[in-house]
């Protein structure tokens, strides 16, 4: 994939087979030129194409501002603010105990640290509902370790959530659980159905792929067990069941095949591909390859009657809607999903439970809501972001990425990933995405 | 005339990937209604247009170049309709030609003769 040229100091020009797409990286406007127009554009200005482009807002006037500054102005004009206002959802980390030992897990599992207590869970849920009094919805996601190891706490928390929702006038509680699927009791299944759970099962692919990084504690694969339990979940009425797929060295290069297997063999039609987290201080996958593979895998899923979502969708949604898509970990209403941890602690980043600047006690957050600002993204933190076509789609590393990689400078593979997503999305406006 | 990208607010299913909600776990509250909505839209369109029922239509999706090709038996004539959208004239033409070639190849394999159309 050739790097785009910079046209008139402010637009990126993607060329392919004589045609071109011009992209304004700040406003996210883009325009397709056919081969005649591309030739015309190279002529002495003003040609008909120059004039037509000017009519569409693509002008030759020099850039009014540095592109990073222009993006900040644009975000301001759109009313986008990176500062979270409240916590609207909790990922509840019940235990770090897990029956599996996956090599890439971002959670330190089986450390021997105590599980969450009923009292701590009650304190955390009370905090969540009081913060969201009168709101349409709060979300609770049971997480671990393997959360079903503490199914007793899940049941307790679900019942308490109903009471709290009524007390604080919250219309809906959205419940999900992230599980490895290796253990599923009848009681848990009935409970999930009764509470209309969304069940996300973490699977990396067919047995040969899954067992490369996802094994039971004893070192043996759990694939047969997981397949059986997925079947039971799918057969149950009223459950939303999907797959959380993590790109690893084992399935990169085989994502489309993996997706085909998940849909055809396992019977799961909804797949979410996790975004790489630089837990070891860097991205472990090739960003450009990942973008291409996600694209192919998504179309494979669509072709099989399934759906696949990933961070690649950011590029399509941003270009289609002309709206920046650069805030990580924050919902559109400026609310956060945070993580409730044992010990009455909350991490304002739901995928990092250890970074000291993210972790506060419930009381501290209650007394000082300003602590949420630590999750506010520093948009386009380095000058190189101003030269990037993914400026308003990536926006630079999240606070979590910064914490993990130890600075403002994005991992090169992250940059390659986002620039590749843009290069893919500018050429696909067919609407199936 | 340079062609601005089509605006689109309603992606296949609303799943705002900016939201960390969808970053891990399954959040499919929106899933249930989209097919039903599509059905309602089509029913409403049938009231406003002249239409014929299509059966056995398929939509082929490709990544090189990106695009869609709808292949459908002509409901009234002995032929197969091929309609491609690759997002640009060149890509659409490439997809169209490739898909027509595939139809011809399949016909040949099945021993179905192609008839020259009138000039």
Please identify, among A324, A347, A375, the residue that sits at the C-terminal boundary of a domain. A375
**Contact status, residue A293 vs residue A252, Cβ threshold 8 Å:** yes
Domain edge (last residue) among A331, A350, A375: A375
A215 and A253 in a common domain: yes
Strand, coil or helix: A87: strand
Same domain? For A98 and A47 the reply is no
Cα–Cα distance measured from residue A198 to residue A172, given in angstroms and rounded to the nearest whole number: 14
Residues 84-113 of A with CB under 8 A from B: 89, 91
Please report, in angstroms and rounded to a whole number, the separation of the first and last CA atoms in chain A: 21
| Straight-line distance from the first to the last Cα atom of chain B, in angstroms, rounded to the nearest whole number | 31
**Beta strand residue intervals within A231-311, DSSP E:** 240-245, 270-273, 307-309
DSSP run (H or E) holding B107: helix B89-110
Cα–Cα dist A392/A399, whole Å: 16
- A415 within a domain of the structure (yes/no): no
pLDDT of res. B34: 66
| Residue A15, strand partner residues | A20
Give the model's pLDDT for residue A253.
Answer: 87
Q: At what angle do helices A313-321 and A412-425 cross, to 10 degrees?
A: 50
Of the pLDDT bands very low, low, confident and very high (cuts 50, 70, 90), residue A213 is confident
Alpha helices in A6-117 (DSSP H): 35-41, 48-55, 67-78
Single residue among A322, A350, A375 that ends a domain in this structure:
A375
In a domain, A206, yes or no: yes
Contacts of B69 in chain A (CB under 8 A): none
Q: Are the C-beta atoms of A52 and A65 separated by less than 8 Å? A: no
Residue B78 CA neighbour count, 13 Å, CB half:
7
Task: Give the model confidence (pLDDT) of A370-413 as tens digits.
Answer: 999 999 989 999 999 999 999 999 999 989 999 999 888 999 99
Asked if the Cβ–Cβ distance from A328 to B63 is below 8 Å, we say: no
In this structure, is residue A418 part of a structural domain? no
Q: Do residues A36 and A175 both lie within one domain?
A: no
Which residue of chain A is at minimal alpha-carbon distance from B91? A17
Are A298 and A345 in a shared domain?
yes
For residue A398, is it within any domain? no
Report the residue from A52, A240, A431 with minimal CB separation from B2: A52
**Claim to verify: residue A176 and residue A39 sit in the same structural domain:** no
The answer, for A151 touching chain B at a CB cutoff of 8 Å, is no
CB-CB neighbors (< 8 A) of B70 in chain A: none
How far is residue B34 from each of residues A250, A320, B13, measured CA to CA in Å? 34, 19, 7
Cross-chain CB nearest to B61 (options A19, A176, A299): A299
pLDDT of residue A313: 86
Position A386 in a domain = no
| Among the partner residues A32, A313, A432, nearest to B2 by beta-carbon distance | A32
CA distance A36 to B3: 13
Mutate to test the interface with B, among A272, A291, A302, A307 (most CBs of B within 10 A): A272
Regarding whether A38 and A182 lie in a shared domain, the answer is no
Residue A315 lies in a domain: yes
Q: Is the pLDDT of residue B82 over 70?
A: yes
Q: Are A126 and A56 in a shared domain?
A: no
Hey, which bits of chain B come out as E strands?
3-4, 58-63, 66-73, 80-85
- Looking at the fold, whether A34 and A107 belong to one and the same domain comes out as no
Q: How confident is the model at residue A218 (pLDDT cuts 50, 70, 90)?
A: confident
Computed on alpha carbons and rounded to an integer, the radius of gyration of chain A in Å comes to 23
Give pLDDT tens digits for A81-126: 889 999 999 999 999 999 888 777 778 888 999 999 999 999 999 9
Task: Note whether B12 contacts A: Cβ–Cβ < 8 A.
Answer: yes
H-helix segments, A3-150: 35-41, 48-55, 67-78, 118-131
| pLDDT given for residue A1 in this prediction | 66
Q: Which of A405, A430, A424 is nearest to A23 (CA)?
A: A424
- A359 pLDDT more than 90: yes
**pLDDT reported for residue B40:** 87
The interface residues of chain A toward chain B in range 358-397, judged by CB-CB distance below 8 A, are none
Residue of B12, B18, B62 lying closest to A327 (CB–CB): B18
Distance from CA of B19 to the nearest CA of A (A): 4
Q: Do residue B19 and residue A332 have CB atoms under 8 angstroms apart?
A: yes
- Number of folded domains that form chain A: 2
Please tell me the distance in Å from B33's CA to the nearest CA on chain A. 13
A95 and A48 within one domain:
no
Q: Based on the fold, state whether residues A46 and A107 are members of the same structural domain.
A: no
Same domain, residue pair A51 and A168: no
DSSP-derived 3-state class of residue A265? helix
User: B85 to chain A: nearest residue by CA?
Assistant: A430
Whichever domain contains A193, its CATH number is 3.20.20.70
In tens, the pLDDT along B20-69 reads: 444 444 444 445 566 777 788 889 999 999 998 888 999 888 888 888 89
Chain-centre distance for alpha carbon A8: 34
Residue A28 predicted with pLDDT over 60 = yes
A310 neighbourhood in chain B, CB within 8 Å: 17
Helix (H, G, I), strand (E, B) or coil at A229: helix
Q: Mutate which of A429, A431, A432, A433 to disrupt the B interface (most B C-beta within 10 Å)? A: A429
Same domain, A153 and A245: yes
Cβ pair B66, B88 in contact under 8 A:
no
Is A31 part of the contact surface with chain B (CB cutoff 8 Å)? Answer: yes
Chain A segment 311-330 residues within 8 A of B by beta carbon are 311, 313-314, 316-317, 319-322, 325-330
Helix (H) or strand (E) holding B96: helix B89-110
- Helix axis angle for A151-168 and A186-194, nearest 10°, is 20
Range of the domain at A60: 1-64
Residue A6 parent element (H or E): strand A5-7
């Amino acid at each position: 994939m050739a790097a785009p040229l910079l046209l008139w100091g402010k637009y990126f020009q993607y060329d392919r087979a004589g045609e071109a797409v011009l992209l304004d990286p700040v406003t996210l406007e883009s325009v397709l030129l056919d081969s005649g127009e591309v030739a015309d554009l190279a002529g002495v200005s003003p040609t008909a194409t120059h004039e037509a482009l000017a009519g569409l807002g693509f002008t030759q006037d020099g850039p009014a501002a540095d592109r990073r500054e222009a993006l900040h102005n644009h975000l301001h004009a759109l009313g986008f603010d990176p500062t979270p206002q409240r916590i609207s959802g909790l990922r509840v980390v019940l235990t770090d105990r897990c029956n599996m030992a996956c090599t890439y897990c971002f959670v330190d599992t089986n450390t021997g640290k105590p599980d969450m207590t009923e009292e701590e869970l009650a304190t955390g849920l009370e905090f969540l509902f009081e913060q969201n009094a009168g709101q349409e919805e709060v979300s609770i996601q049971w997480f671990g370790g393997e959360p079903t190891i503490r199914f007793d706490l899940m049941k307790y928390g679900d019942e308490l959530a109903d009471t709290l929702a009524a007390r604080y006038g919250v219309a809906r509680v959205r419940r999900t659980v992230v599980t490895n699927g290796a253990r599923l009791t009848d009681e848990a299944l009935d409970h999930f159905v009764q509470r209309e759970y969304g069940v996300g099962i973490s699977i990396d692919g067919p047995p040969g792929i899954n067992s490369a990084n996802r094994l039971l504690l004893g070192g043996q694969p759990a694939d047969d067990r997981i397949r059986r339990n997925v079947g039971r979940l799918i057969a149950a009425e009223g459950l939303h069941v999907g797959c959380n797929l993590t790109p690893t060295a084992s399935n990169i290069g085989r994502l489309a095949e993996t997706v085909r297997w998940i849909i055809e063999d396992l019977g799961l039609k909804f797949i979410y591909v996790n975004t790489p987290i630089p837990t070891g201080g860097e991205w472990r996958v090739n960003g450009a390859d990942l973008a291409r593979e996600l694209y192919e895998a998504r179309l494979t899923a669509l072709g099989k009657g399934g759906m696949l979502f990933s961070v690649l969708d950011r590029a399509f949604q941003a270009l289609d809607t002309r709206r920046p898509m650069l805030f990580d970990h924050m919902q559109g209403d400026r609310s956060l999903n945070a993580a409730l941890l044992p010990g009455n602690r909350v991490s304002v980043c739901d995928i990092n439970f250890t970074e000291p600047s993210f972790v506060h006690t419930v009381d501290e957050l209650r007394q000082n809501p300003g602590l949420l600002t630590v999750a506010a993204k520093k948009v386009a933190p380095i000058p190189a972001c101003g030269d990037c076509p993914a400026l308003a789609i990536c926006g630079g590393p999240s606070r979590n990425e910064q914490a993990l990689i130890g600075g403002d400078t994005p991992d090169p593979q992250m940059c390659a990933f986002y620039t590749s997503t843009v290069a893919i999305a500018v050429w696909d406006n067919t609407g199936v995405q | 005339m340079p062609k601005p990208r089509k605006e689109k607010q309603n992606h296949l299913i609303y799943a705002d990937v900016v939201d960390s909600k969808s970053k891990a776990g399954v959040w499919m509250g929106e899933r249930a209604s989209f097919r039903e909505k599509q059905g309602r839209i089509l029913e409403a369109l049938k009231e406003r247009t002249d239409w014929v029922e299509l059966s056995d239509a398929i939509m082929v999706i490709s990544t090189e170049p990106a695009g869609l090709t709808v292949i459908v038996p002509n409901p009234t004539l002995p032929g197969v309709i091929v309609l491609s959208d690759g997002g640009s004239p060149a890509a659409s033409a490439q997809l169209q030609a490739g898909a027509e070639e595939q139809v011809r190849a399949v016909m040949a394999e099945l021993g179905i003769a192609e008839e020259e159309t009138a000039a």
